[in-house]
Amino acid sequence: MWTWFYRLASPPSVYALSGRLAPWLLAAAACLIAFGLVDGLAFAPPDYQQGDAFRIVYVHAPSAWLSTFAYMLMAVAGAIALIWRIKIGHAVAAAAAPIGASFTLCTLLSGSLWGKPMWGTFWAWDPRLTSELILLFLYFGVMSLRQAFEDPARGDRAAALLAIVGVVNIPIIKFSVTWWNSLHQGATVARFGKPTMVASMLVPLLVMFAGFMLFFVGVLCVRLRAEVLNRERLATWVREAVAT
């Protein structure tokens, strides 16, 4: 099994596989996001308290989920690269960082625009908002640290260490709404019991989650190919891959 895993995680395999997967993932993501947006914006009923402002959830919640998922992926990939010296781990972490950072920024901007009509302010030093802002700074820190060393291998190791240390922020983001008094609403979908949304509101949200997730994996594949090429450009397999 380990032999199979090492072969799959080899740069030529990852380069070829991600090239084959990316167009399909991105096409499926486009269909799901288009359907989810139309269904959520035009056909889902307005919320009884928030009115039509609640429709921001269809872009805010999937962005927020991706912002933490991308960070976890980055940290796990970095840990795998540090522990088992599988170098594709550093490439995955480097590819995931800018995508995660962009979705964190999107989460903060959309949350801020949602906060104004609901809380009366664009920003509050609330535990959920503050921990999400710290996540954005962690992404910037990891990306900057990777570039800060002349030796790319040292940059990779330092970035992986920072990413692993920063994982402590993920449960803080997740549970901040239950641990502390927060302006931010609690979980509506990811609850141990039943979700608190009716099906006509929930279905477009789940479709948007799936669409954003596929989009993330699709863009990750494209970025991963670039990372692999940058890191392996003197390898013999690149000569054949570039020629085709």
Partner 1 sequence: MTSGFLAMGGYAGYVWPCIGFSLATLAWNLWSAQRASRAALERARRSIAMADA
Q: By CB under 8 A, tell whether 38 contacts partner 1.
A: no
Binding range to partner 1, per CB under 8 A, among 51-59, 73-81, 129-137, 174-182: 51-59
The Cβ-side half-sphere exposure at 224, using a 13 Å CA radius, reads 29
Q: By CB under 8 A, tell whether 51 contacts partner 1.
A: yes
> For the window 118-147, what string marks contact with partner 1 as x by the rule CB under 8 A?
------------------------------
Neighbours of 100 (CB within 10 A): 27
DSSP-derived 3-state class of residue 112: helix
**What proportions of the chain, in percent to the nearest 5, are helix, strand and coil?**
80, 0, 20
Query: Nearer to partner 1 by C-beta: 116 or 154?
Result: 116
Helix ranges (H only) for 39-87 are 57-84
Query: Nearer to partner 1 by C-beta: 41 or 148?
Result: 41
CA–CA separation, 218 and 165 (whole Å):
27
Neighbours of 110 (CB within 10 A): 18
> For the window 219-238, what string marks contact with partner 1 as x by the rule CB under 8 A?
x--xx-xxx-xx--xx---x
Binding range to partner 1, per CB under 8 A, among 82-90, 94-102, 164-172, 175-183: 94-102
| Residue 195 Ramachandran class (φ > 0 left, ψ -120 to 50 alpha, else beta) | beta
Beta-bridge partner residues of 51: 47
Binding range to partner 1, per CB under 8 A, among 56-64, 125-133, 139-147, 151-159: 56-64
Binding site for partner 1 (CB under 8 A): 26, 33, 37, 41-42, 46, 51-53, 55-56, 59-60, 63, 98-99, 102-103, 105-106, 109-110, 113-114, 116-117, 215, 219, 222-223, 225-227, 229-230, 233-234, 238-239, 242
